[in-house]
Amino acid sequence: MAKHQHPFTVPGIRRAGDEFQDLWGIELLLEWLEHPERYDWVRFECDDVGALDDVVARRREGGLVCRQMKHTAEPDRPDLAASWSWLTKREAGAKGSRRSLLQRWADALDRTLDDEGIVDAGLFTNRRSSSTATRPSRRRRAKSFRPPRTTRPR
């Protein structure tokens, strides 16, 4: 495989990802400043919500806003595009396959719904979208549905 070039040093890649996360978090902080009645708090790296932890805000009327960030040093590389296969890929681990990004986020969403309620959860990335991510087939189309709290399994 050809070596790809990017403008970052090894520690610089990590810092660029942190900066990407900081900028999206600052956007939420600015919204809070403009509308102080919307939020009680905003946190970065909020471990309480599991894998949806990068930027989290508590809505004053209840529920959380969760922002998960994924940054890459080479966002234009086609093999690094945001795709269904990237979201559902299960990496090999010491004890078998690890859960995919989507599975980990779904687990965190389920736990947080039970504990806090979620108003909004989203993935923010600098990756380009692949054609499979922007044009899902009918078999892959996901529907947005949130059952009432009383009907969700525990």
11-20, 82-91, 125-134: which range is least confident on average? Answer: 125-134
CATH number at residue 74: 3.40.1350
- Residue scoring higher pLDDT (96 or 153): 96
Q: Has residue 122 been placed in a domain?
A: yes
Tell me if 114 sits within 8 A of 152, measured CB to CB: yes
36 in a domain, yes or no?
Answer: yes
> 106, 51 in Cβ contact below 8 A?
no
In a domain, 141, yes or no: no
Whether 15 is in a domain gets the answer: yes
pLDDT the model gives residue 143: 45
Q: Where are the alpha helices (DSSP H) in 35-100?
A: 84-88
Q: What would the pLDDT profile of 48-86 be if each residue is shown by its tens digit?
A: 888 989 999 999 999 999 999 999 999 999 999 999 999
Residues spanned by the domain of 59: 10-133+147-151
Residue 2 lies in a domain: no
Q: Please say whether the beta carbons of 90 and 98 come within 8 A.
A: yes
- C-beta contacts of 90-94 below 8 A and 24+ residues apart: none
Q: How far apart are CA 48 and CA 91, in angstroms?
A: 24
DSSP label at residue 3: P
How many domains does the chain fold into? Answer: 1
For residue 1, being part of any structural domain is answered with: no
Structural domain contains residue 47: yes
Distance CA 81, CA 131 (A): 9
Q: Considering the entire predicted model, what is its pTM?
A: 0.76
Which carries the bigger pLDDT value, residue 70 or residue 144?
70
Rounded to whole angstroms, what are the CA distances from 13 to 44, 47, 60, 109, 117?
A: 19, 22, 35, 28, 34
Contact 42, 56 (CB under 8 A): yes
In a domain, 75, yes or no: yes
**Residue 23 binned pLDDT confidence (cut-offs 50, 70, 90):** very high
